[in-house]
Amino acid sequence: MFFLKKYLFFALKLILIKMYFLKNLFLFLCIATVSAYSQNYEISVSLNTRNDTVLLGHYMAKRSATLVNDTLVLRNGQGVFKGNRRLPKGTYFLVSEGKLLFDIIIGDNQQFGIVADTADLANPKFTSSPDNEVLQTFNRYNFERHRQLRELNEQFRNAGSDDERIVIREQAMEIEKMGVEQMDELINSNQNLYVSKILRAIMPLRFPEHPRDEAGNITDSMYVYRWWRNNFFSNLDIFDPEMLRMVNYEDKLFEYIQRVIPQHTDTITAELDKLLTKAQQNDEVFRFILRTVFNHFAGSQDIIRGLVVPENIWVHLAEKWFIPHSTWSTAEFIDNLRQEVSKRKPNLIGNIAPPMETLVILPNEHFMAAALDTAIKNDVYAGTIVDDFRTMPQLKSKFTVIYFWDFTCGHCRRGIQDLFNLLEEQRQKGLQVLTVQMYLTERKDKGRWIDFVNENNLFAVGWINAWSPYDHKFRDLYNISSAPVVYLLDENFNIMLRNISVEQIQDFFENQVE
């Protein structure tokens, strides 16, 4: 019994010793892990300069957009970037005296060293940074590949025959193929490093072949396109916030919007809704994508681009996404944006033109009689009141131009004469014109307008002169802040073009209407 107790005592003691050892081993491993990926950054820099100032910054979705993270003044060419927080992962750069030195990667390990010679900035040396060592290997591959391609390009320009050009082209394709293979090898052999994620983001997609039947005929001509659209972001995940600090992020986003998606207003709008819905999982990504596409379509100079109407997309983004979700914007900005959307929405291209209440139509006979009778000229009650011009039997044609103008405006005077001439040229193609005199407030103003129309003989088949002495709400409906303003409507009074010149209408009829 004594020996049994003694044995149990030693066994228990051994267990306690092992537990103590394992506990300390676990603690040691935790300390080692924290040391390797501590919650701060410390990047030593050694340049063969004296007391230059060096900036550490990162790219923001493109090479031209950068943010500075830290500033360092070198002492005898030596210094350390240091902070008590971790830097966001991504592609960074060093700048000295306004000149880019080189790019670096900051991933999981944020404690490493850089040694560089200003005479050879293409080959910086790194200590304790496998990510950047792999990046330098890639850069060397890339530099050599571009050197070879430049030589082949020179040979191609000087080639004396088509056969020589074919050979050179095949050599260039082989070099490009080798470059992809080298990149693929670097990615696969360094999957445990953050650099593999960076390299994959710039890796070109490898397209599949079209499916074919036994005779070799393509059985699905849209297969490769569908694959491209479904896999476009497989290498660069735009919903990953780390990818925001890539130089090709924005290019990739717009390539998808402008090339991959069918270029139609409704299709682009629906696809942007999908992107923004998914982007809401991360505030930084959501904010960047929303602001970028919102500003892009707001700044578009095109009225219409093929089947795309940029303004319609912008209004949709403003109403559905920016106004309710841009928490970073000021209340004043949102209020102004809401008012702008309210002004534009009724007269977007594709919408049915809104009615103009109490529009007064003056027949040609009134102008002729007014030329001989001052009382008729100044009669503000003459004419036919129309609450919806779209119901007018006179306006039944393939195209209607509405010309909002003022006879005292020099641009309006020139434009209305050009428009009258255009009607004479294009009437056979279904053109008709409704002119709306906007700013008449007194009897004498109406008389002066009558005189201008009579003096310039603005009477023709398909030409209607109108004004609105009782109600000017149409100015808001048609978003009119100056004159002239020109709309082109189709046979169903859908807005085809807006805020255009007479020259643009002429171009439309000469190049698009048979």
Q: If pLDDT is split at 50, 70 and 90, which confidence band does 357 have?
A: confident
Count CB atoms within 10 A of the CB of residue 67: 11
Final residue before a domain boundary, out of 320, 347, 374: 347
Q: What is the pLDDT of residue 20?
A: 41
Is residue 238 within 8 A of residue 289, CB to CB? The reply is yes
Residue carrying the six token digits 């394709």:
173
Q: Could you list the residue range(s) of the whole structural domain that residue 430 is in?
A: 359-511
What is the token pair recorded at 211? 């499916």
Distance in angstroms (rounded) separating the CA atoms of residues 400 and 494: 10
CA–CA distance, 501 with 485 (Å, rounded to integer): 8
Report how far residue 365's alpha carbon sits from residue 360's, in angstroms, rounded to the nearest whole number: 14
Structure pTM?
0.83
pLDDT at 51: 79
Do 402 and 474 lie in a common domain? yes
Question: Could you report the per-residue pLDDT of 172-223, keeping only the tens digit for each?
Answer: 999 999 999 999 999 999 999 999 999 999 999 999 999 999 999 999 999 9
| Listed residues 128, 153, 185: the one ending a domain | 128
Pair 412, 431 in one domain: yes
In this predicted structure, the answer to whether residue 8 has a pLDDT above a threshold of 50 is: no
* 414 and 488 co-located in one domain: yes
**Beta strand pairing call for 359-362 and 463-467:** antiparallel
**Per-residue pLDDT at 31:** 37
30 lies in the same domain as 46: no
The answer on 366 and 495 residing in a single domain is yes
206 located within any domain: no
In-domain check, residue 215: no
370 confidence band (pLDDT: 50, 70, 90): confident
The set of residues, in sequence order, having a beta carbon less than 8 Å from that of 291 and lying 6+ positions away, is 326
pLDDT digits (tens, 9 = 90+) for 24-46: 434 333 433 444 456 799 999 99
**Whether the predicted pLDDT of 21 surpasses 50:** no
Q: Is 213 a domain residue?
A: no
Based on the domain organization, do 292 and 430 belong to the same domain? no
Tally helices (H) and strands (E) across the chain: 17, 15
Query: Would 334 be classed as within a structural domain?
Result: yes
CB neighbour class for 293 (10 Å; exposed up to 12, middle 13-18, buried from 19): buried
Give the number of other Cβ atoms within 10 Å of residue 44's Cβ: 17
Q: How confident is the model at residue 303 (pLDDT cuts 50, 70, 90)?
A: confident
Q: How would residue 439 be classed by pLDDT, with cut points 50, 70 and 90?
A: confident
Q: Looking at residue 442, what is its pLDDT?
A: 66
Direct distance between the N- and C-terminal alpha carbons of the chain, in angstroms, rounded to an integer = 114
Distances (CA, A) of 176 to 142, 168, 232, 406: 10, 12, 20, 63
Domain assignment of residue 211, yes or no: no
Question: Any idea of the CA torsion for 246, 247, 251, 252, to the nearest 10 degrees?
Answer: -30
Give yes or no: residues 196 and 322 share one domain: no
At 453-504, the pLDDT tens digits run 999 999 999 999 999 888 788 888 899 988 899 999 999 999 999 989 999 9
Q: Residues 415, 426: contact at Cβ < 8 Å?
A: no
Cα 309 from chain centre:
14
Peptide bond into 484 cis (omega under 30): yes
- The distance from CA 109 to its chain's CA centroid, rounded to whole angstroms, is 33
Alpha-carbon gap, residue 324 to 318, rounded angstroms:
9
* Residue 55 parent element (H or E): strand 53-59
- Region 373-383: mean pLDDT is 86
Mean pLDDT, residues 43-68: 91
- Side by side, the strands of the sheet bearing 111-116 are 78-83, 41-47, 111-116, 125-127
pLDDT (average), residues 296-310:
89
In the predicted structure, residue 381 carries a pLDDT above the cut 90 = no
The neighbouring-strand residues paired with 55 are 71, 95
pLDDT of residue 459: 92
Given the structure tokens 């299709």, which residue do they identify?
Answer: 267
On whether the CB atoms of residues 441 and 372 are closer than 8 A, the answer is: no
- Res 235 pLDDT > 80: yes
Backbone Cα Rg of the chain: 35
Question: C-alpha dihedral over 236, 241, 246, 247, to 10 degrees?
Answer: 100
The angle at the Cα of 375, spanning 370 to 381, to the nearest 5 degrees, equals 85
pLDDT value at position 352? 95
Q: What is the structure's pLDDT at 93? A: 95
pLDDT of residue 306: 85
The set of residues, in sequence order, having a beta carbon less than 8 Å from that of 318 and lying 6+ positions away, is 294, 337, 340, 341
Cβ count near 90 (within 10 Å): 22
Q: Is the pLDDT of residue 292 over 60?
A: yes
Q: Tell me which DSSP letter residue 349 carries.
A: T
Of 201, 235, 255, the residue that ends a domain is 201
Q: What is the mean pLDDT of the segment spanning 100-115?
A: 95
Residue 94 φ then ψ, to 5° = -115, 135
List the structure tokens of 193. 């490093």
Confidence class of residue 382 from pLDDT cuts 50, 70 and 90? confident
> What are the residues whose beta carbons fall under 8 Å from the beta carbon of 142, sequence distance 6 or more?
179
| CATH code, domain carrying 114 | 2.60.40
The secondary structure element, H or E, covering residue 112 is strand 111-116
Domain count, the chain: 5
Q: Are residues 268 and 395 in the same domain?
A: no
7 and 45 together in one domain? no
Question: In this structure, are residues 489 and 356 in contact, taking their beta carbons and an 8 Å threshold?
Answer: no
- Work out the angle between the directed axes of helices 265-279 and 310-317 (0-180°, nearest 10): 30
Asked whether residue 2 carries a pLDDT value surpassing 50, the answer given is: no
Give the integer Cα–Cα distance in Å for 67 and 81.
16
In sign, the C-alpha dihedral spanning 389, 392, 397, 401 is: negative
Among the residue ranges 5-9, 423-427, 507-511, the one predicted with the least confidence is 5-9
Q: Which residue has the higher pLDDT, 15 or 413?
A: 413
Q: What gap in Å lies between CA 347 and CA 485, rounded to an integer?
A: 12
CATH number of the domain that 426 lies in? 3.40.30.10
Does 212 map to a domain?
no
In whole angstroms, what is the distance from residue 317 CA to residue 286 CA?
13
Average pLDDT over residues 249-262: 96
C-beta of residue 471 within 8 angstroms of C-beta of residue 357: yes
Rounded to 10°, the helix 162-189/130-158 angle is 180
17 vs 290 pLDDT, higher one: 290
**In this structure, which amino acid lies at residue 273?**
D
- State whether 261 and 246 are in the same domain: yes
Give residue 160's pLDDT.
Answer: 87
Give the whole-angstrom CA distance, residue 316 versus residue 332. Answer: 20
3-state helix, strand, coil in the chain (%, to 5): 50, 20, 35
Residue 430: both structure tokens together: 């279904």
Q: Is residue 501 part of a domain?
A: yes
Question: What is the residue-averaged pLDDT of the chain?
Answer: 89
- Contact status, residue 308 vs residue 263, Cβ threshold 8 Å: yes
385 & 313 share domain: no
Residue tagged 């090898």 (tokens): 185
Same domain, 364 and 497: yes
Q: What is the pLDDT of residue 37?
A: 52
Has residue 207 been placed in a domain?
no
